[in-house]
């Protein structure tokens, strides 16, 4: 079940509705040379809160792939409170050509994540 939180908390400075959930995702940077599994939480149209594994550092800009749907975003870190970070979605890569090398690499990472979870398409 997904809870939707309304923007009633001025202290959080939220402009958009957000969905609470536990979505498997993968962070990737430097053309897929580095990847980190993470959990997406409090997802909104403009960003998300990510839970990282202990002792994990990530750059301030990276790709984020939601494993189940294959949604791909270019992201920018908005805040850090280890083991969590908040990210802003800079650009969605949905619908981009699979001839794009980054999109192909990210799709491969998504399929690997599905296989590890025991699911396939």
The full set of domain ranges for the chain reads: 4-115
Identify the pLDDT of residue 3.
38
DSSP 8-state assignment for residue 52 = P
DSSP 8-state assignment for residue 9 = -
Report residue 80 as tokens: 């850090």
Task: Please give the model's pTM, rounded to 2 decimal places.
Answer: 0.74
Judged on CB neighbours under 10 Å (0-12, 13-18, 19+), 79 is exposed
CB-based contact 26:65 (threshold 8 Å)? yes
pLDDT at 82 over 70: yes
CB-based contact 55:43 (threshold 8 Å)? no
> Under 8 Å CB-to-CB from 90, ≥6 apart: which residues?
61, 73, 74, 75, 76
Mean pLDDT over the full length of the chain: 80
Report residue 10 as tokens: 């001025």
pLDDT at 98 over 50: yes
Quick: pLDDT tens for 7-49. Answer: 333 345 545 555 667 899 999 998 888 999 999 999 999 999 9
Identify the pLDDT of residue 1.
36
Spelled out in words, what is the top-level CATH class assigned to the domain 4-115? mainly beta
């Amino acid at each position: 079940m997904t809870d939707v939180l309304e923007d009633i908390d001025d202290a959080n400075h939220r402009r958009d509705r957000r969905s609470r959930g536990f979505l498997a995702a993968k962070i990737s940077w430097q053309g897929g040379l580095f990847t980190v599994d993470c959990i997406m939480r409090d997802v909104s149209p403009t960003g998300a809160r990510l839970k990282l594994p202990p002792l994990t550092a990530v750059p301030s800009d990276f790709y984020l792939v939601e494993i189940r749907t294959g949604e791909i975003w270019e992201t920018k870190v908005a805040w850090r409170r280890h083991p969590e970070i908040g990210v802003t979605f800079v650009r969605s890569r949905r619908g981009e050509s699979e001839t794009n090398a980054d999109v192909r690499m990210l799709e491969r990472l998504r399929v690997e994540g599905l296989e590890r979870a025991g699911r396939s398409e």
